[in-house]
Amino acid sequence: MSETSETAPTGEASIDTGDVSYEANRRRTFAIISHPDAGKTTLTEKFLLYAGAVGEAGAVKAREGRRRSRSDWMELEQQRGISVTSTALKFDYRDHVINLLDTPGHRDFSEDTYRVLTAADAAVMVLDAAKGIEPQTLKLFEVCRAQQLPILTFLNKFDRPGRDPLELLDEIEDQIGLRPTPVTWPVGIPGSFKGVIDRRDGSFVRYSRSVRGATEAGEEIVPPKIAELEEGEDWRAAIEGCALLDEVGANLDLDSFYAGESSPLFVGSALTNFGVRHILDAIVDLAPPPHPHLDVSGKLRAITTSFSGFVFKVQANMNPAHRDHIAFLRVCSGRFERGITVVASSTGKPFTTKYATSLFGADRSTIDDAYPGDVVGLVNASELKIGETLYLGEPVRYPPIPSFAPELFATVRNLDTSRHKQFRRGLEQLTYEGVIQTFVDPLLEGQPVLGAVGQLQLEVAEHRMANEFKAPIEMRISQYQAVRKTDAPTVSALPRSSGIRIIERGQELILALFESEYWLQRLQRDHPEWTLEPIVTLDR
Ligand code: G4P
């Protein structure tokens, strides 16, 4: 590892200086949280455009194909000819290295989508301005909140008719308790969106469209007097809106942003590129760089200590063409160099990082170095499990990655009773790897119930049970509207009703599953003394 220096080296962002503290400080590692169709893919592509990573954006129109593809980004990769991993996209912007972590949505939504957030230092919440907070955004937001991740908000699709932005601010605050602090404010109503006022200095940036949004939008700084003359009522309404925000004190506040209590908010349109530069600049200027991580004993490991990181996602055996097992590692301290032999903290065994990759998909390429904030894909890493810590030098173990509240439950039956041992072993292995969670339903004589965040996890479990463990299973899937953590006294008091199911994991975790949210609310109203706690994360 090279020595740390006080001064930042000059030159292009892509030049690796070897200086851990400098390299960490110029990294921004974040994820986009949004409901499907709010504009995550479009905004991602526009980030690449503004960062100069692609010359022209757009015409990503093959929606049919995109929906069917395993990852939105793999489609981007094929269309743009750029290398995108299905886990992290790395690009340079303003002398900074940006790591954008993928949070798979649509049919790829799974516990991995949540786990990825444990590797991020911040999140950008993209909302469709016509729709506001939607269910998937809400779920992802809860996971961010559980980790106190700072969140920037982007109100997207202002180019078309939508809701009053002030009403959207109220909705964000009321529904999720996050205080939005608009940094930019729209001039022009949704559908007739002209530009934004940057509330930090009062400047008005007026945009003009580029053809199909394929290149950057035109930007013109318009002095207030001219804006008043040219934009008339739209300008006056925007100024009034800003005055109202000043009055209620909805101003940028970094401390509450870092604490996950307030959210700097930007308005724009990913389609026409209006406001894209502002939000990308905010990732550099406002989002925090990688911070020292706490280890299991509550001690902070400084960024400049020798290499360490944790595995937050494992991708196993899914592609029959490469029978790989890739472990994705978030670097927390020090410098990672390909080829180094590190230690796996759970076993104390050495692990050789000969096959390290930052990119995969059509075009997998190896990486040589990585710094805090970066993501490394370790190939042929079948012994590495989710939550494993790897380190060099001073030993460290990071806290386990929690599991997340399941929403889908499948009662499973072993189809071949002669394969009982393999059936048990397979379920144990898949649970250990974090592919699914396993519970028992005491009413079903210990029959296993698999818990998952998304359908994909159950499909993977079914496939691997049949193909890898040669123990085919039958699954009966049930979805519940509400899942609550409960305890034995509450279980014995709950009515024996078909709308409630109790499942357990070991002695310590009991979940009550409700077919109807309304039914749960009624019971809670009538019996406030019962333990029925909402959950986001569960101990693994
Ligand atoms: P996702 O990854 O969050 O699922 O969303 P994606 O970017 O794929 O965008 C979903 C749709 O919304 C796309 O439309 C996209 O063009 C559109 N979109 C994204 N950002 C904006 C915006 O700022 N303004 C407007 N007007 N549209 C935006 P599509 O599926 O190609 O066509 P359609 O659904 O409009 O027919």
> What's the pLDDT score for residue 482?
94
Query: Of ligand 1's atoms, which has the minimum distance to the CA of residue 72?
Result: 2
135: number of Cβ within 10 Å: 8
Q: Which CATH superfamily is domain 27-285 in?
A: P-loop containing nucleotide triphosphate hydrolases (3.40.50.300)
User: How far away, in angstroms, is 275 Cα from ligand 1 center?
Assistant: 16
CA neighbor of 259 nearest in space, from 141, 149, 117, 125? 149
> What's the pLDDT score for residue 460?
87
Q: Which residues pair with 483 in a beta bridge?
A: 513
Cβ–Cβ under 8 Å, residues 355 and 401: no
Cβ–Cβ under 8 Å, residues 290 and 121: yes
Element (H, E) at 172: helix 165-176
**Residue 234, both tokens:** 């739209």
Give yes or no for residue 271 CB within 6 A of ligand 1. Answer: yes
CA angle (30 as vertex; 241, 80 as ends), nearest 5: 100
Give yes or no for residue 431 CB within 6 A of ligand 1. Answer: no
Predicted TM-score of the model (pTM) = 0.89
CA angle (126 as vertex; 111, 457 as ends), nearest 5: 15
Give yes or no for residue 41 CB within 6 A of ligand 1. Answer: yes
Q: What confidence tens digit (pLDDT) does each residue in 64-96 have?
A: 333 333 444 444 444 443 333 457 888 899 999
> What's the pLDDT score for residue 383?
84
Each of the 540 residues of the chain gets a pLDDT tens digit; together they read 332 333 333 334 467 778 999 999 999 999 999 999 999 999 999 999 999 887 776 544 333 333 333 444 444 444 443 333 457 888 899 999 999 998 887 777 889 899 999 999 999 999 999 999 999 999 999 999 999 999 999 999 999 999 999 999 999 999 999 999 999 999 999 999 999 999 999 999 999 999 888 899 999 999 999 999 999 999 999 999 999 999 999 999 999 999 999 999 999 999 999 999 999 999 999 999 999 999 999 999 999 999 999 999 987 654 455 556 778 999 999 999 988 999 999 999 999 887 665 543 334 556 678 999 999 888 777 888 899 999 999 999 999 999 999 999 999 999 999 999 999 999 999 998 888 999 999 888 778 999 999 988 898 899 889 988 999 999 999 989 999 999 999 999 998 877 999 999 988 899 999 999 999 999 999 999 999 999 998 877
Give yes or no for residue 38 CB within 6 A of ligand 1. Answer: yes
Give yes or no for residue 39 CB within 6 A of ligand 1. Answer: yes
Range 293-391 has CATH code 3.40.50.300: yes
Sorted by where each begins, the domain ranges of the chain are: 27-285, 293-391, 403-538
Query: Of ligand 1's atoms, which has the minimum distance to the CA of residue 42?
Result: 7
> What's the pLDDT score for residue 357?
58
Atom 21 (ligand 1) nearest CA: 271
| 403-538 CATH choice from 3.30.750.24, 3.40.50.360, 3.30.70.3280, 3.20.20.70 | 3.30.70.3280
> What's the pLDDT score for residue 75?
47
> What's the pLDDT score for residue 79?
46
188 Rama class: left (phi>0) / alpha (psi -120 to 50) / beta: left
Atom 31 (ligand 1) nearest CA: 61
Mutate to test the pocket of ligand 1, among 32, 42, 73 (most ligand atoms within 8 A of CB): 42
DSSP state of 482: E
Query: Of ligand 1's atoms, which has the minimum distance to the CA of residue 105?
Result: 4
Taking the CA atoms of the chain, what radius of gyration do you get in angstroms?
25
> What's the pLDDT score for residue 293?
97
**Residue 152, both tokens:** 């920037």
Give yes or no for residue 356 CB within 6 A of ligand 1. Answer: no
Cβ–Cβ under 8 Å, residues 390 and 352: no
CA dihedral 342, 347, 348, 352 (to 10 degrees): -20
User: How far away, in angstroms, is 306 Cα from ligand 1 center?
Assistant: 43
Give yes or no for residue 71 CB within 6 A of ligand 1. Answer: no
One DSSP character per residue, 357-407 reads: EEE-SSS-EE-SEE-TT-EEEETT-TT--TT-EEESSS---PPPPPEE---
| CB neighbour class for 232 (10 Å; exposed up to 12, middle 13-18, buried from 19) | exposed
CA distance from start to end of the chain: 35
Same fold, 27-285 and 293-391: yes
